[in-house]
Amino acid sequence: MTLNPNLQPLQLFAMDVDPFAKDEIFISGLPDYLKQFDRQRGQLIPILQKVQQELTYLPAEALQAVADYLEIPVAEVYGVATFYNQFRFNPPGKHQIKVCLGTACHVKGGDIILENFERKLGIKEGETTEDREFSIERVACVGCCALAPVVLVGEDVQGHMAPSKVEGLFVRIQVEKEMAQRKKKRHETGE
Amino acid sequence: MKPENKDQIYQQFEAIRRQAEERRDAARRDPSPTILIGTATCGIASGALDTKLAFEQAILEQGLDARVRTVGCIGHCYAEPVVIIDYPQSGFPPIFYHEVTAGKARMLVKHFLEGGDPLFEHVYGAMVENDMIPSVMEFSRFNQEKRVVMEKCGHIDPEDIYDYIAHGGYAALAKALTLDPETIIDEIKTCGLRGRGGAGFPTGRKWELAADSPEGDKIIVCNADEGDPGAYMDRTILESNPHQVLEGMAICALAVGAHKAIVYVRSEYPLAVKIVSGAIAQAKTLGLLGSGILNSAFNLEIEVFQGSGAFVCGEETGLIQSIEGFRGMPRSRPPYPAQEGLYGQPTVINNVKTLASVPPIIANGAAWYRTIGTENSPGTAVFSVVGDVVHAGLVEIPMGVTLRTLIFDICGGIANQKKFKAVQIGGPSGGCLPETFLDTPIDFDSLTTAGAMMGSGGMVVMDEDSCMVDVARYFLDFTQKESCGKCTFCRIGTRHLLDILQRITTGEGRTGDLEQLEQLSEDIKDGSLCGLGKTAPNPVLTSLKYFRDEYEAHINEKRCPGMMCRPLMTYYIDLDKCARGCDACVGCCPTEAVFTTSTRKKGIDQDLCVKCGECMVACPPQYDAVRKVSPPGLAPVIERPVKNPDASKKASDNS
Amino acid sequence: MMVTIEVNGRQLTVKQNLSVLQACLENDIYIPNLCFMEDMPHPPASCRLCFVEVAGMQRPVTSCTVKVAPAMVVKTDTPAVRRLQRSGLRFLLSVHHVDCQNCPANKNCELQRLARFLKIGLKPKHLENHLQDIAIVENHAYLTYYPNRCVLCAKCIHACRMSHGHSLISFVGRGFNTSLSFAGICDFEQTACNTCRSCADICPVGALVLKTACER
């Protein structure tokens, strides 16, 4: 299919080969999956939310399937999806880092925290590291203002962040990863 | 309505209430201690789940008989994780503990639940008056609040409908079912309730408008698309006491004749979505929602719709567009949604706090509600007070309390012995008020006159170290990003405002910028289509009005008085204070900008420094050698020693 | 039912359901406008140019959203109205790639007309020019889209919907980065685009331009 070249993320993904076969299977099964929803325009946003929940992002093929199901032009689906902050068009990292830049976090130096993450990972907000381990996003407010500045790593809220805690966070993620690997290894050799 | 039907409604409700009370009494008869843990989002973020786990494990290990229950948020976010232990057999009243970490939890189990010693050094206060432990009501953070909307938050389990009913819940709905719709609307009109979403439109009038609209599938929408960055009251209420909001929605639906309702929650609030969905299911099971509510002829289905993250969808018409599955771009009003809203049907859109105010009003009467607050703004206001205050969190106060009382008495004043500079009220639509306005009473009209706005209730307190120009830039950056892009003034105008503010905060301000800011702001205010654009310039206009000298310092002297704008300030190390051999600042610098001088003291390489301020935090207080200055030119130049110390050391070793 | 209103001192008798803008345009009283279209059920009111003053209303209102009412008194050229119209147009021009020599809409451009009418220059002095960082869209077989000429009036979307029942063009992005997209058109020969020219015809500024045979 032809894509609009003025939208970088989608095009970028279209050139990518999907590394997860699981996603491909889900996308190919989408027409059936969508049958659980009413065929109504009002279902568009709930559908997109559900699909993104499954795939962590909205690839072009999924948008096409949703448009076909609801019998509306893809352009419309695209227009709606690009309007809302929630939807993304390229896959996020395994560890999603969301830096809160709500008012309280801003006043307490949230942008400095964001810069520290960007420097540490060598990517900008909205980007994903090449190994797809990490991605950084800024969010408007996660509603934990009394703990400002706040960072979300996955679903974990880290309150009272400081630039010096950034390093510690990565060390922790690394340690957890290694522990999991060791556990897995032990499990495998044990059997 | 026929009298026999009235009786039926009461009978049905009484049956449910008796059930709830029996459950409560059974729990009360059980002498084993109860531990209540606040597990709303902010509690969880502070580690409440770890605390809960620690309690459960310790209780199990010690083989005790105690119940751990989760409740919502009590609003005291500065004290999270918050725990209340009710242990009647110990002879102590229920006790409030703050900052209960997992370790503290284990200690409490060991000493209090097992040993009977409540660990006075960790007690915050008792929940009721007694002669052993000072009550929390002796603290102004507790006793100056007046809780109507948040009365039950933090005291009941949000996932147990019986808990709410045992605390008097759903009685107002039962009462409303026996009243005429006109009577309900009259009650809401006489009580003077005004919309808590920001604009303060009289709720009764809105309901009346919808009720008077010709028949159709009228719809009630609870607006919980809390987009104001720095406000989280709506989320907390939904997470802590969802049924009060649902009950308010049901009463509203009854009054205007709607049979369908939608709770519009941000998808960024997954816990709120989960709790509200669960609450709807529970209420349906008990016949408090669904068809034939409490044996009456009234039906109501409530659904949850998750907003996808667009601030503009807090605007009524934008919200409608997004529920219909379109881009959330507002349209011009009239027609108002109350006449022609969702799918063309009359739609009442009320904020969470507005709807949560309804059940107490119906239960206690309009006259009671009018005793709280002021003449033109009756009732209470819920604020999330955050920023540089000691006791940050959610505060519910009667309208008319002054900003000074709220910030200095209730919230404990400014943290770290700093001076108060400004308070930002109303988020991106509001404004910054300086010290001279601290005696302004908090109500819709006084705040608007002062140039701020009630808004949804976000309040950010700022100390002397904050920069008002930067705050204005921050909000414009937000509104510019969140502008829907539909109308010319908001789409392009905010971009120009932001551009100028960005220039000023990076030291490239020019003469004439301030006049242009004012001119553009007035144009955007008058020309924009929806509330977002119309109020977007407010942060600029108020800060220009009250803090013009700061703008001038940025432009004329390239100086940031609050030392927040990083291009206009710099850090340096005072060599007279720096301690020889201390390395505290070296280790914390993320860019290795700190170097050792020839006298073994420290200096900062300005080319590498990213001005994060970590060295200032790390410098031991007895030295206090790291300084901030603005403009950067004032910092003394400390050259990095040319010779590589390692190399020279090696050389000397070799010789 | 007809109603009589007064515009700039002139009495107009017009149909009841008209907007003030329609009533004026029908009676040869020009009010600047960009996004208004006769057959739209709800005017988008997005260009914010058609301001007028209506007696009894505090500040200028957009005439496309106000219906005529008996004895309404309207003024179309007060200083307050002109101030808003001029700043609105300046805003539009400040994000417009002003390069009239190379634009096919030259001399037939709504922005030029408006600037002449409101007596302002095409390059606003005090506003910096902010162009979107976005490439010209050439992936459509028959059309080229120039984002930095577009005024986002949405007329093309409406025209496309009128011709085909649904629109093949849509807004994408949000806020300052809003633009048009033809996303998802797979086969241009199967869509009506090869015969239909309605979007390009209605574009007031030359943002949607038909490709010449050799460009295709």
**Residue B124 lies in domain:** 31-138
B217 in contact with A, Cβ within 8 Å: no
Residues A117 and A60 in one domain: no
ipTM of the complex: 0.95
Best interface-test mutation with B: which of C48, C64, C111 has the largest number of B CBs within 10 A?
C48
B631 preceded by cis ω (within 30°)? Answer: yes
C174 contacts B310? CB cut-off 8 A: yes
**Residue A136 lies in domain:** 95-190
Nearest by CB to A73, from C145, C167, C174: name it. C167
Residues B345 and B247 in one domain: yes
User: In angstroms, rounded to a whole number, what is the distance separating the alpha carbons of residues B89 and B256?
Assistant: 50
For residue A144, the chain B residues in CB contact (below 8 A) are: 41-42, 45, 77, 232
Residues A21 and A71 in one domain: yes
Q: Would residue B152 count as lying in a domain?
A: no
Q: Give the pLDDT score at C40.
A: 85
A102 contacts B229? CB cut-off 8 A: yes
Beta carbons within 8 Å of B600's beta carbon, 6+ residues apart: B580, B581
CA-closest candidate to residue B304, choices B359, B371, B242, B240: B242
User: In angstroms, rounded to a whole number, what is the distance separating the alpha carbons of residues C151 and C32?
Assistant: 14
* Long-range contacts (CB closer than 8 Å, 24 or more residues apart) made by C4-8: C4/C70, C4/C71, C5/C68, C5/C69, C5/C70, C5/C71, C5/C72, C5/C73, C5/C74, C6/C71, C6/C72, C6/C73, C6/C74, C7/C74, C7/C75, C7/C76, C8/C74, C8/C75, C8/C76, C8/C77
* Helix %, strand %, coil % of chain B (to 5): 45, 15, 40
Best interface-test mutation with C: which of B484, B491, B519, B529 has the largest number of C CBs within 10 A?
B491
For residue A83, the chain C residues in CB contact (below 8 A) are: 171, 173-174
CA-closest candidate to residue C79, choices C60, C62, C61, C94: C60
Nearest by CB to A145, from B232, B471, B612: name it. B232
Q: What is the DSSP code (8-state) at residue B634? A: G
- Of B448, B466, B484, the one marking the end of a domain is B466
How many structural domains does chain A have? 2
Q: Give the pLDDT score at A8.
A: 35
B477 in contact with C, Cβ within 8 Å: no
Residue A158 is encoded by which pair of tokens?
């880290």
User: In angstroms, rounded to a whole number, what is the distance separating the alpha carbons of residues A94 and A85?
Assistant: 19
User: In angstroms, rounded to a whole number, what is the distance separating the alpha carbons of residues B474 and B31?
Assistant: 54
User: In angstroms, rounded to a whole number, what is the distance separating the alpha carbons of residues B396 and B151?
Assistant: 9
CA-closest candidate to residue C115, choices C90, C96, C95: C90
User: In angstroms, rounded to a whole number, what is the distance separating the alpha carbons of residues B364 and B371?
Assistant: 11
For residue A120, the chain B residues in CB contact (below 8 A) are: 590
Q: Which CATH number fits domain C143-210: 1.20.1260.10, 3.10.129.10, 3.90.1150.10, 3.30.70.20?
A: 3.30.70.20
B226 contacts A150? CB cut-off 8 A: no
Residues B462 and B479 in one domain: no
Q: Is B47 helix (H, G, I), strand (E, B) or coil?
A: coil
Domains of chain C: which residue ranges?
A: 2-78, 143-210
- Of A83, A105, A129, the one marking the end of a domain is A83
DSSP B60-103: HHHT---EEEEE---S-GGGPSPEEEE-GGGTPPPEEE-S--HH
Q: Report yes or no: B56 and B66 within 8 Å, Cβ to Cβ.
A: no
How many structural domains does chain B have? 5
C179 contacts A6? CB cut-off 8 A: yes
Residues A55 and A141 in one domain: no
Q: Which chains touch C (3 or more CB pairs under 8 A)?
A: A, B
A83 contacts B327? CB cut-off 8 A: yes
A75 in contact with C, Cβ within 8 Å: yes
Q: Scan residues 53-112 of C and list those with Cβ closer than 8 Å to B.
A: 59-60, 62, 65, 83-84, 87-88, 91-92, 94-95
Q: Dihedral of CA B503/C132/A8/A34: which sign?
A: positive
Q: Give the pLDDT score at C188.
A: 65
Q: Give the pLDDT score at A3.
A: 37
Q: Would residue B129 count as lying in a domain?
A: yes
Residues B400 and B481 in one domain: no
C128 contacts B527? CB cut-off 8 A: no
Q: Would residue A90 count as lying in a domain?
A: no
Q: Give the pLDDT score at C190.
A: 65
Residue B551 belongs to domain with CATH number: 1.20.1440.230
CA-closest candidate to residue B12, choices B333, B414, B295, B330: B295
Q: Is B654 helix (H, G, I), strand (E, B) or coil?
A: helix
The 3-class secondary structure across B482-539, one letter per residue, is: HCCCCCHHHHHHHHHHHHHHHHHHCCCCCCCHHHHHHHHHHHHHHHCCCHHHHHCCHH
CA angle, B422 then B141 then B84, to 5°: 135
Residues B458 and B474 in one domain: no
Mean pLDDT per block of 10 residues along chain A (191 residues) reads 36 42 83 93 95 92 93 92 92 90 89 92 90 88 84 87 86 87 82 56
Residues B232 and B322 in one domain: yes
Residues A52 and A78 in one domain: yes
How many angstroms away from the CA of A15 is the closest CA of chain C? 16
Beta carbons within 8 Å of A175's beta carbon, 6+ residues apart: none
Q: Give the pLDDT score at C212.
A: 82
Give strand ranges (E) for B315-362. 347-351
Residues B181 and B282 in one domain: yes
Residues A46 and A108 in one domain: no
Residues A135 and A69 in one domain: no
DSSP B192-256: T-B-TTTT--BHHHHHHHHHHSPSS--EEEEEE---STT--HHHHHHHH-HHHHHHHHHHHHHHH
For chain C, report the end-to-end CA distance as a whole number of angstroms.
52
Q: Scan residues 1-40 of C and list those with Cβ closer than 8 Å to B.
A: none
Q: Which CATH number fits domain C2-78: 1.20.5.510, 3.10.20.740, 1.10.3720.10, 3.30.2010.10?
A: 3.10.20.740
For residue A6, the chain C residues in CB contact (below 8 A) are: 134-135, 137, 145, 147, 179, 181
Directed axis angle between helix B233-240 and helix B242-256, to 10°?
Answer: 100
A46 contacts B305? CB cut-off 8 A: yes
Q: What percent of chain C has pLDDT over 70?
A: 96
- Of A37, A52, A83, the one marking the end of a domain is A83
C142 in contact with A, Cβ within 8 Å: no
Q: Give the pLDDT score at A191.
A: 56
Residues B340 and B260 in one domain: yes
pLDDT, tens digit, for every residue of B224-281? Answer: 998 888 888 999 999 999 999 999 999 999 999 999 999 999 988 889 999 999 999 9
Q: Would residue B654 count as lying in a domain?
A: no
Q: For chain C, list residues with pLDDT below 50.
A: none
Q: Would residue A162 count as lying in a domain?
A: yes
Q: What is the DSSP code (8-state) at residue B402? A: B
Q: Give the pLDDT score at A9.
A: 37
For residue B45, the chain A residues in CB contact (below 8 A) are: 144, 147, 150, 157, 159
Residue B594 belongs to domain with CATH number: 3.30.70.20
Q: Report yes or no: B482 and B311 within 8 Å, Cβ to Cβ.
A: yes
Residues A118 and A155 in one domain: yes
Q: For chain B, list residues with pLDDT below 50.
A: 648-655
How many angstroms away from the CA of B308 is the closest CA of chain A? 5
Q: Report yes or no: B126 and B94 within 8 Å, Cβ to Cβ.
A: yes
Best interface-test mutation with C: which of A76, A80, A85, A89 has the largest number of C CBs within 10 A?
A76
C182 contacts A78? CB cut-off 8 A: no
B77 in contact with A, Cβ within 8 Å: yes
User: In angstroms, rounded to a whole number, what is the distance separating the alpha carbons of residues B69 and B588?
Assistant: 41
Q: Which chains touch B (3 or more CB pairs under 8 A)?
A: A, C
Residues B178 and B323 in one domain: yes
For residue A41, the chain C residues in CB contact (below 8 A) are: none
Residue A62 belongs to domain with CATH number: 1.10.10
Best interface-test mutation with A: which of C181, C187, C191, C199 has the largest number of A CBs within 10 A?
C181
| Pairs of CB atoms within 8 A across A/C | 72
Residues B192 and B328 in one domain: yes
pLDDT, tens digit, for every residue of C131-176? Answer: 988 889 888 888 899 999 999 999 999 999 998 888 889 999 999 9
Residues A110 and A184 in one domain: yes
Residue B520 is encoded by which pair of tokens?
């553009």
Best interface-test mutation with C: which of B320, B322, B332, B482 has the largest number of C CBs within 10 A?
B332
Please count the residues of chain B. Answer: 655
Q: Is B356 helix (H, G, I), strand (E, B) or coil?
A: helix
How many angstroms away from the CA of C133 is the closest CA of chain A? 10
